[in-house]
Amino acid sequence: MNLEVIVPIIALIGVLVLVLPGFIQTNYNLKILIKNFSIWIIVIAIILIFVFFIL
């Protein structure tokens, strides 16, 4: 794995760490929280699949 792959992954994790507290605060209902987390997990999985297999 080269640096061109590692840096975007680190940036994605950094953005997640910055957004996560506000994301949890606005999702006060557990059902809404689980729904939004699943959407985020799908988005991140698609990005990671693109990075690892397409590039």
Unique residue bearing structure tokens 């910055």 = 18
Put simply, whether the predicted model's pTM sits higher than 0.95 gets the answer: no
Q: How confident is the model at residue 1 (pLDDT cuts 50, 70, 90)?
A: low
Which residues neighbour 55 within 8 Å (Cβ) at sequence distance 6 or greater?
A: 4, 5
pLDDT mean over 46-54: 89
Q: What is the pLDDT of residue 11?
A: 93
Each residue of 2-18: pLDDT tens digit?
Answer: 888 889 999 999 998 99
Q: How confident is the model at residue 51 (pLDDT cuts 50, 70, 90)?
A: confident
Amino acid (one-letter) located at 34: I
The residues spanned by each domain of the chain are: 3-54
23: burial class by Cβ within 10 Å (0-12, 13-18, 19+)?
A: middle
